[in-house]
Amino acid sequence: MTYQHITVKPLAGAIGAEILGIDLSKDIASEAMDEIRRAFLENLVVVFRDQDLTPDSQKAFSRHFGSSHINDFFPTVDGHPDVQLVAKNPEDTRNVGDVWHTDVSYVRKPPLGSMLYALEVPDAGGDTMFASMYNAYETLSDGMKELLEPLNAVHSATQSFGVRATGPEMRAKNKSMAFKYSEDAEQIAVHPVVRVHPETCRKALYVNRSFTKHLEGMTVEESAPLLNYLYDHMARPENTCRVRWEKGTLTFWDNRCAHHYALNDYQGQRRVMHRVTVLDDRRDNTTLTENAA
Ligand code: SIN
């Protein structure tokens, strides 16, 4: 199906597209909004260039997709508890997100997607890579698909936001971020390894290096060989695209079927983003397990 109200320019074979011809700070006609939704579901990651957004206008656009998530760990923009600050200053050596992951998989109702808006970017570097978990699933052998189908995995924020991760040693590496420790870091959520996307009904792998601890009913050590195989398989270049940021770029990705990786390949420069994480309001997916059938 073609588009009448927007222009969609793919970034790679498997995932990602730029959407041209839309000013996100203005009201968007419902026909164009329908096409943006379709482009999002078809491409998993959509990129809008040259936008001029305040936290309020970013949130207004995000509400076309769902309400926003309040993150327990990230610093937020003053007056906007639902707009997270993702920043790295010249003196910082650590960035946020340089491990393949999907956002907030450690809660029982993981979010629909994330919208990241670039306020300040380095001269070069600081790109974000994305990988299609549909492709990752579909390119497994039938034997592996059968093996994974009944499995669940346990997710938790401990490794990324637990006591160690939010302590003084990590803070020293990125003073701009200062993740807050919350007891929620110790909570766990169980999700199927193969998740059925609630809107497209396509199957996608749903385990990630940041937040998946182990397979349900197995130890961390027992789970590691299979999970590590999947993590390597997911990150194959054919499953990916790469977004080069410019000031004013907004990228919106589908956390239900895409992973991302923020490259920490720039030092001594500032990169500042505002992130709104969009909840999956449409359905009660308290237990994602029901999707796995
Ligand atoms: C994130 O992991 O949400 C941050 C991604 C980025 O800064 O590119």
Phi/psi region, residue 171 (left: phi>0; alpha: psi -120 to 50; beta: rest), is alpha
Residue nearest to atom 2 of ligand 1 (CA): 97
| pLDDT interval class at 35 (50, 70, 90) | very high
Q: What is the pTM of this model?
A: 0.91
Write the pLDDT tens digit of every residue in 60-93: 999 999 999 888 788 899 999 999 999 999 999 9
Place of tokens 């041209």: 20
Active site residue 275: yes
SS3 147: helix
Measured from the Cα of 271, ligand 1's closest atom is 7
Domain boundaries, the chain: 7-290
Q: Average the pLDDT over 246-275 and give the result.
A: 97
pLDDT at position 284: 54
End-to-end CA distance of the chain: 29
pLDDT tops 60 at residue 285: no
| Tokens matching residue 50 | 């040259």
Pair 51, 18: CB distance under 8 Å: no
Residue 167's pLDDT band, with cuts at 50, 70 and 90, is low
Confidence of residue 178 (pLDDT cuts 50, 70, 90): low
Q: Is the CB of 128 under 6 A from ligand 1?
A: yes
* Domain 7-290 in CATH 3.60.130.10: yes
CB 103 near ligand 1, within 6 Å: yes
Catalytic-residue membership of 101: yes
Contact 40, 69 (CB under 8 A): no
